[in-house]
Amino acid sequence: MDLLSLIDRRVKLLLQNTAQSQAGQIDHNALRNLAVGHPHTQYPRDSGADVVGVVLSLSADTSIPTAAWTSVNWGVENLDTDNFHAGTNAYITIPYSGLYLVLVLACWAVNALGIRDIGLGAFYNAVPAVSGTYTAHNLVVVNYYSAGATLTPTFYQNTGAALNLIAAGTRFAAFLVK
């Protein structure tokens, strides 16, 4: 299986597990299926888990001002195998150099005006608002990061007023792929 197929399969599994989570809790056994190669790879792990990664969510709906790139404090650690995240910071710190699959999932409150955007360093994904329902979108990045790098997702919207990110559908995740 080539790397892109492997990553595609793992993204689908992660999205499925995130959608099936209850009250922001991720099934840790299901996430073990995301491990690449043999379950005991050469990467050190503080926790002894079969996967090296982090999944964070918001502890409450979070207001994003209009026309301003804004970071959020991730208040819930659904999974953190190797101390990627501390406290309620807006960022994670990469523990090991390597290729990472990074996902930012955003669920915006109902509002049909403007655009919604997610940024992570040089990577962005903008979508138009959806009329009559929540606007949900994601940013998926596969990139090499060095140990000690910090990743901070930022959010943008231009409705003309503050707009909430909905805690139940907003996540930030990173997994060591290789």
Q: SS in 3 state form for the chain?
A: CCHHHHHHHHHHHHHHHHHHCECCECCHHHHHHHCCCCCCCCCCCCCCCCCCEEEEECCCCEEECCCCCECCCCCEEEEECCCCCCCCCCCEECCCCEEEEEEEEEEECCCCCCEEEEEECCEEEEEECCCCCCEEEEEEEEEEECCCCEECCEEEECCCCCEEECHHHCEEEEEECC
Check residue 4 and give its pLDDT. 53
pLDDT in tens, 81-120: 999 999 889 999 999 999 999 999 999 999 999 999 999 9
pLDDT in tens, 33-84: 333 333 333 444 455 557 899 999 999 999 999 999 999 999 999 999 999 9
Check residue 133 and give its pLDDT. 92
Query: Measuring CA to CA, which residue among 155, 153, 173 is closest to residue 163?
Result: 155
Domains and CATH numbers, the chain: 3-176 (2.60.120.40)
Q: What is this structure's pTM?
A: 0.76
Check residue 16 and give its pLDDT. 54
CA 175 to mean position of chain CA atoms: 10
Average pLDDT score over the chain: 82
pLDDT in tens, 112-165: 999 999 999 999 999 999 999 999 999 999 999 999 999 999 999 999 999 999
Check residue 50 and give its pLDDT. 76
Instruction: Say how many C-beta atoms besides its own lie within 10 A of residue 159's C-beta.
Output: 18
